[in-house]
Chain A
Amino acid sequence: MIPIQNFRSFFALIFAIFFFTWFGFVVLPWISLGHLPPIQDEGSTDITPWDSSGEAHAGEHIYAADGCAYCHTQQVRPASSGADMIRGWGTAKDEDGKDVTRRSYPRDYIWQGQVFLGNNRIGSDLSNVGARYTDAAALYRFLYDPYLGDLHSSMPACRFLFVTQKISGQTSQDALVLPAADAPPAGFEVVPTAQAKSLVAYLLSLKKGYHLKPDEAGLPYVPPSTKS
């Protein structure tokens, strides 16, 4: 034990202890997980995972600014740790339309400018929300009035992401189809703003419909159990 009277040794020890924690939480993860490349399929130019569109990346900013991550996670834990798979949060469809149900791996996140793993599940996990919703219109309706999606939803409505405007000529293509209680006055329509469009593009891009073997996923390889 170094008392504070011996200031230099005291400070050096504090520095060493902080450095130890810093090494464990910043340097080591950066070395082991900071530069994961996508996996290139043999004999083709396809890569896994693939990057999402520019509009989806723009949606990350809306997701950050409006604090979606305080209620929604984007991580599916393995079956050995929690019931995330049973809730259906790890399920997405692959290219052939078959279900892929799996945990999330570090390599799933390499294209995201900002990662939102989240720490609270007031709402559902969004890792594969793009697989559960394939239709932008349904997501717009949910954002406009969550009760239309689920009567028990505790999500706040995001009407500020939409504008009510006068119909000039034909109804806009992306105007929301709303029940009478929510409908705008006659001659008006509710359309999503640019922010809503990029947010929904981002949400639709969230799906992990591809296979990764554990050793490819950025995690150390664990041999599969012999009985399967």
Chain B
Amino acid sequence: MATLFPTTVAPRGFVSTDPELAAIDASVRWPVLVCFLSAVHWMVVGTFLLVYASSLTHPQDAFPILGWFVTLSDNFSMFTYGRVWATAIDALVYGWASTAGLGLAVWLLARTSRATAGSPASLMTAVVFWNLGVAIGLTGIFLGDSTGVELLEFPAYASWILWIAYALFSLWAVATFLGRKPGNDHIAQAWLLVALFAFPWLYGAGSTLLTGDTAHRLPGSGVVQEVIDAWYVHGIYTLWLAPLGLAVLYYLIPKVSGISIRYGSNAQVAFWTWIIFAPWTAVHDLVGGPFPAQTVTIGLILSGLIFIPVALIGISLISTAFTAEGQQGHHGGVVFPFLVLASVAFVIAGASEQILSIRSANELLRFTMFRECNTCLWIYGFFSFIVFGAIYYIVPRLLDFGWRSATMVKIHYYTSLYGILLVIAMLGFGGFMQGQTLENTDPAVSIVTAVDVSLSYRIAATMCVSLIAVGNGVFALHLAWMLLDWLRLRVRGNRLAAEILLEPYEGDAAASSKEVAA
């Protein structure tokens, strides 16, 4: 049986042999790299905050060291659960997933359009502003300016910065797409366009209607606010992150495995059914609430059809992976395992949405940790694995420089894999047990009983999220190591930089060898 990973990684020779693709990669090198680096930074921040938040949901007797966390949370408003949870999820969604998503979109749009990217300066400005917006937004939440609207917690003074950044980015994207070479159409472009079009609609409507001054919010609108927020939250997962991720999968899986997507003729049906049905998963947050029952029922029927695109996409991507394995005997390389895992996570996430669209299951799981399981699946299970795989693929091609250690990739892969599987298992099953208690018809059962039932799952979840955090940390260190080594080799040609960084200066050696040759 072949090993999943190679035991060594190649140091050089990643630049595409197609000179056109090599030129395209070179043209987007810096914006994409800055996106990935800042995204990985937010991933580390967000995961740490998530571990912290998760550790506050249960007694810390098992981990005495966490007593520090509790002392902080008790005495400083900055570190209370409600603020840390919000910053953790926002750092992961806007800082990690969306920033990495922007980088992926830049690279993929340029590649699928076969057009070298113009104006990298405007892209860089967009990326810098985006990160600024995220940083200011997270600080605002810590300081108590959170709007309290799920996934739109960033205060108004941060969200307009994100707006400017996205506007700049989309100008670039439209220009690149319109400048595409004729005949280069790829299903990945369709997914990218949906994501790039959905985000401004969602974020524009969400932030103007729901955040900002109370006086300017929909006045007296009551529960309509929560309907719009549900539409926004699920829109971010199903119309922004999922299309970005699927675009990458549809492009990279054939590239890496060397075979075309199986059942590719279904890709269009899957595409249209996904964008029609998937956003209706928003109705999962409205079942039983103070809303007209008929509307909720119609929504449940529409969101229940999500199994069609999930099955089509899942069958096609996963069977491609198995066929490739059958033909080549092994996955070959560090990229493919992550992409396969992302495809599987997509199917599991789709299945969890499918479960929530069944009314009785929804009633049971509606207010339990099953919803956190769903969030973790989209962010950590599905999207993170795509970004990992894509970064492992793209960064060597941008730098023409290989990853440093096969062992570190392996550690990263297995901690992420078992971390996310255990988190899903704990939160999913824990949610079921918690739901059984919360919805118990015995009047003697109270919220306290439900807390007691869920405690062990919460403790387990903290431990499993810590495992993910270890993997993410290893990945971040590996990326940093690779960039440092690359930088060290680069500076050897420049005397001043070499002296500052204490590297041997190779200019002399090159000059002297020339003399010898002469």
Contact = CB atoms under 8 A, between A and B. Distances in A.
B439 A5 contact: no
15 contacts: A5-B185, A14-B194, A22-B201, A25-B282, A33-B221, A33-B223, A65-B144, A69-B148, A77-B289, A82-B438, A83-B441, A115-B226, A117-B290, A154-B59, A156-B80
B144 A119 contact: no
Interface stretch (B71-79, B94-102, B380-388, B490-498): B71-79
Interface of A: 1, 3-5, 10-11, 13-15, 17-18, 20-22, 24-26, 28-30, 32-36, 60, 63-71, 73, 75, 77-78, 81-83, 86-88, 103-124, 150, 152-154, 156-161, 217-220
Interface residues of B, number: 93
Residue picked from B205, B220, B445, most chain A C-beta under 10 Å: B220
A78 B288 contact: yes
B80 A121 contact: no
A75 B144 contact: no
Interface string B115-148: 0000000000000000000000000000011111
B222 A33 contact: yes
B165 interface: no
B290 A30 contact: no
Interface in B51-78: 56-59, 70, 73-77
Contacts of A111: 220
Contact of A115 (B225, B441, B454): B225
Contacts of A70: 81-82, 85-86
Contacts of B368: 120-121
Residue picked from A35, A36, A63, A66, most chain B C-beta under 10 Å: A66
Given A66-B144, A113-B217, A75 B225 contact: no
Contact of A17 (B75, B82, B276, B448): B276
Contacts of A35: 220-221
A60 B147 CA distance: 10
Interface in B175-201: 185, 187, 189-190, 193-194, 197-198, 201
B448 A114 contact: no
A106 B214 contact: no
B213 to A, nearest CB: 10
Given A67-B81, A120-B367, A26 B290 contact: no
B256 interface: no
Interface stretch (B7-15, B24-32, B227-235, B395-403): B227-235
A182 B56 CA distance: 20
B80 A117 contact: no
B450 A34 contact: no
Contact of B82 (A68, A78, A217): A68
Contact of B58 (A1, A64, A154): A154
B85 A67 contact: yes
B293 interface: yes
B206 to A, nearest CB: 10
B205 A159 contact: no
Contacts of B83: 65-67
B57 to A, nearest CB: 6
Contacts of A1: 268-269, 272
Given A1-B272, A3-B185, A69-B148, A106 B291 contact: yes
Nearest to A154: B451
A34 B218 contact: yes
A81 B287 contact: yes
Nearest to A28: B295
A172 to B, nearest CB: 21
B430 to A, nearest CB: 12
Contact of A26 (B231, B292, B439): B231
